[in-house]
Amino acid sequence: MGDEHFWRSGPIKAAIRSGEFGTVVRLAREHRALRQADVAARAGMSRSTLSRVETGRHQGVDVARLRVVADAIGMPPGVVAALLGVAGRPAATVVARDPHPNGPAGPAEEDPLRRRTFLTAAGAVVPIASLARVDDALALTPDPGGAVSAAQLAARLNALRDRYDAGRLVEVVDGLPRLLAVAEQAPEHFDAPGVHALASAAYGFAADALSKVGAKPASRITADRAVGYARRSEDAVAMAEASRALGIVLRHEGRQGIAHQVTLRAAGRVQAKGIDTPRAAATLAQTLCTCAYNAAQADRRDDALMLIGEARSVARHHLPDVAARGARPALTRAQVTLYEVGVHWALGDSGRALNVGAGLDAAMFPTPERKARLHTDLARAWWQRDRPAETARHLLEAHEYAAGEVRDRSSIRRIADALARDHGRVGEVRMLTDRLSR
């Protein structure tokens, strides 16, 4: 296929419509029979960074460097402009079938699989109305619907945590306005360190949930408020937990460097205080895991591997193998190992990620959300290796445990939609597409 025909081909047009810069880079590289190492050398970057670009995780790569990548694979200026937002890209539309069954179908009618792919993609996000209510609650505190107390705040937070653990993300977002109403007012009624720490936990939980569904502005506001209340509590562990939530938000904003600094400082606070309680041990290990993942996203390989090693050491000495049955989920050694899978995947080493993940089983994790997370992380590693059947198989497993982790988690749903678009004839992909369209 010549260059002119290649840039006008169906897969390229579909990727441009979806704004998938990395997919276009990968297709062009394969069209030219180039290795990632070849293109990375031309662009003056590491292979792992190019891998992140191709898999859509290039938030930390500036536009100037993306243009260099485009030049390295010979991307036409018009395609570059459309993908990087210099010029608007054509909208992806679905033409409805003729409402009259006996009428002509028309030349623009799409095949059923393509139509179903777009229809399922439309349901990939939390309803706009739900997110709008969260935005309103952050701008103007709503009526909490009753007396405000620390006990009431704890009860609402635990109830939403249960829904989060079950992978019911839409229900979590729907419940955030009332949670935040109590979190904002409880410290005004009870000016005590413990209440401030509880308010910080509520806002930090909101930041995690909003970040997971891709609501970046709201997640940043809630993370900032979590940090503010944690400081007022003067609780080192609360400050570390809030800083970790902020670090995750910063990473999703593409600010991997500052995210790494924020979480590393948070880990240092806990270490300085000393690991004197199970909560402190779990917070330190989890913050180190987040530090490692942030470093991996920033392409700081040595730091990432050192930090995940430190997290393993804390887990080995202070954490249980698995969570006790019936207890609220706490960090375990198995969960630290799952973080390690993510670190290797983020470094572009999918083989190592799959090797580490081979020692894990869903039975090691106490909640549907964590069981599903095991399979979504393994799916990401298989997707990085361009293995659609294995990717879809793990997403199907994740969907069985917690459908929302595939349907409503924005980063994972993008993989599911890309599978349906580019590999629709693979049996496992058809099964996944059908499952998500129900």
Give pLDDT tens digits for 383-425.
988 899 999 999 999 999 999 899 888 788 889 988 998 899 9
Backbone torsions φ then ψ of 359, nearest 5 degrees: -85, 5
Amino acid letter, 235: D
**DSSP character at residue 146:** S
Average pLDDT over residues 261-287: 87
Q: Please say if the pLDDT value at position 106 is more than 50.
A: no
**DSSP character at residue 111:** P
- Would you kindly state where each structural domain of the chain is located, as residue ranges? 3-90
Of the candidates 156, 212, 158, the one whose C-alpha atom is nearest the C-alpha of residue 372 is 212
- For residue 6, how many other CB atoms are within 10 A of its CB? 15
Any long-range contacts for 202-206 (C-beta under 8 Å, 24+ apart)?
A: 202/153, 202/156, 202/157, 202/226, 203/229, 203/242, 203/245, 204/230, 204/241, 204/242, 204/244, 204/245, 205/157, 205/160, 205/161, 205/164, 205/179, 206/134, 206/176, 206/179, 206/180
Q: Is 326 left (phi over 0), alpha (psi -120 to 50) or beta?
A: left
Q: Which CATH superfamily is domain 3-90 in?
A: lambda repressor-like DNA-binding domains (1.10.260.40)
Q: What's the pLDDT score for residue 221?
A: 94
CA distance 357 to 344: 10
Q: What is the pTM of this model?
A: 0.66
Q: What's the pLDDT score for residue 116?
A: 36
pLDDT tens profile 363-393: 998 889 999 999 999 999 999 888 999 999 9
Q: Please say if the pLDDT value at position 105 is more than 80.
A: no
| Reported confidence tier of residue 206, pLDDT bands at 50, 70, 90 | very high
pLDDT tens profile 318-358: 888 766 654 555 688 999 999 999 999 989 899 999 999 99
Per the listing, tokens 């997919």 go with 23
Average pLDDT over residues 232-239: 90
